[in-house]
Amino acid sequence: MLTKEIRQQYRQRRRALSPRQQTRNARLLQQRLDSLLAFRSRLKIGAYLAEQGEISLDLWIATTRQRVFVPKLYEPLEPRLRFAELTPQTRWQHNRFGIAEPVAHWGQTVHPRQLDIVLVPLMAFDRQGNRLGMGGGYYDRSLAFRCARKHWVRPRLIGVAHSCQQHPSLPYQPWDVPLDLILTEQEVINPAQRRNN
Ligand SMILES: Nc1ncnc2c1ncn2[C@@H]1O[C@H](COP(=O)(O)OP(=O)(O)OP(=O)(O)O)[C@@H](O)[C@H]1O
Ligand SMILES: [Mg+2]
């Protein structure tokens, strides 16, 4: 199956979830995230605001004691994501894709290497830690530095998804950044075999 067709298939699956299933999955995910992070606090965590049927982190964001950062797109030469911390004062604007992001200037944002964990949205994942995103390469570009590092693995990349987004074995490209862990409403998946790009 072509990558394009896989994307289409999972896009439909995500969208087909009822509001009730979405809420249920978001609650279960929140519990999993809370237990995973139970013994840590004030970690710097990159999260996202769910779009188009992605599993929602809103509930977790609203209740966590961790420090939450959300992506903001910068396009100096090539597009990359930096992260702005959410505070009670955060104001929002839409970027050119219509995606909500915080109003913040460069100095108020951080490079992803300054985060402890990034919760990565996705279209499909497999149990080897491969992920397929929306096709823009934004996360891959912004997290590419993780591939070059062999020992210092920060931030940890945790893919979050509905369990129905699992694909048997995804095709991957040299630039695709693999996930360290995957969390769904059903389970925590520790990719068994790491691949080498
Ligand atoms: N590290 C990189 N440097 C330059 N270009 C890149 C890099 N990573 C990805 N790209 C470009 O981005 C395009 C889309 O990549 P890909 O299909 O893997 O997107 P994706 O993983 O679905 O998206 P995202 O990373 O935003 O979730 C590719 O055609 C590739 O040329
Ligand atoms: Mg990719």
pLDDT 10s digits, 78-133 = 899 999 999 999 999 999 889 999 999 999 999 999 999 999 999 999 999 999 99
pLDDT of residue 151: 77
Q: Is the CB of 79 within 6 Å of ligand 1? A: no
CATH 3.50.50.60 fits 3-189, yes or no: no
* Average pLDDT value for residue range 65-85: 94
Task: Out of 147, 175, 177, give the residue to mutate to test ligand 1, the one with the largest number of ligand atoms within 8 Å of its CB.
Answer: 175
Residue nearest to atom 29 of ligand 1 (CA): 137
Quick check: 188 and 123 in contact, CB under 8 A? no
Q: Give the position, in ligand 1's atom list, of the atom nearest the Cα of 176.
A: 18
Quick check: 43 and 2 in contact, CB under 8 A? no
- To the nearest 10°, report the CA torsion of 30, 166, 116, 153: 150
* Average pLDDT value for residue range 52-69: 97
Q: Is the CB of 180 within 6 Å of ligand 1? A: no
**What's the pTM?**
0.95
